[in-house]
Chain A
Amino acid sequence: QVQLQESGPGLVKPSQTLSLTCTVSGDSMDSGDYFWTWIRQPPGKGLEWIGYIYFTGRAYYNPSLKSRLRFSIDASKSQFSLKMNSVTAADTAVYYCARGSSSSSSRGTWFDPWGQGALVTVSS
């Protein structure tokens, strides 16, 4: 049974870089079948897709965040990571990592399972 766990600092200062890592257990990250995904949820608000990275290192970013994002993946460590620079209070959110899947019979990608989430607060 695959499990994902986010880790990283819970407090980041404005204008600095937010860094998170997701550790995957129970599954091989280099099978090529999945999209390793980041999603966030501001307190009391809805979900926002940040992007995902494929095992090859090819990344797909939300266009509204793309200029501030960089993903990386280390399948040998079963980890993938997110870096977001120039953060502001608007980036305060619970950040989730998730496994994205798709099928030949269904256009698009769904996310399952999800990590428990990591709250990141941007404040001085």
Chain B
Amino acid sequence: QSVLTQPPSVSGAPGQRITISCAGSSSNVGAGYAVHWYQQLPGEAPKLLIYGNNNRPSGVPDRFSGSKSGTSASLAITGLQTEDEADYYCQSYDVSLSCSIFGGGTKLTVL
């Protein structure tokens, strides 16, 4: 069981907006550590999508956005496209475990 909790799956129709939650605790997200998000397309390596809670690397469309509040964070995707079908992972640092941690991952299906 992951220290960061994500829903196993979410789905949406093309053009819609979806959000993926990432629930942490007072020893990681709630301790002020940033949350980062990765997209893993089928058969590929993960790719950085959001860093530092809400920053997009160059090349990532502004349809992707991140937010953080308290002990949780969220990834929002607007204008869903079929190519967004992938697994999404949140990541942070846990001061009690003394290591970087990942959420269990969320499979996004675009209907």
**Chain A: residues with CB nearer than 8 A to chain B?**
46-49, 51, 60, 62-63, 96, 101, 103, 105-117
Contact = CB atoms under 8 A, between A and B. Distances in A.
Contact of A46 (B92, B99, B103): B103
B111 interface: no
Contacts, number: 70
Given A46-B89, A110-B52, A116-B44, 15 more contacts: A46-B2, A46-B102, A46-B104, A46-B105, A47-B89, A47-B91, A63-B97, A108-B34, A108-B36, A108-B100, A110-B91, A111-B38, A112-B48, A113-B48, A116-B45
> Which of A47, A109, A116 has the largest count of B CB atoms less than 10 A from its CB?
A47
A15 B98 CA distance: 27
A108 B92 CA distance: 7
B17 interface: no
Interface residues of B, number: 29
A49 to B, nearest CB: 4
Contacts of A46: 2, 89, 102-105
B47 interface: yes
B83 to A, nearest CB: 19
Interface of B: 2, 32-34, 36, 38, 44-48, 51-53, 55, 57, 89, 91-93, 97-105
B100 A114 contact: no
A54 to B, nearest CB: 14
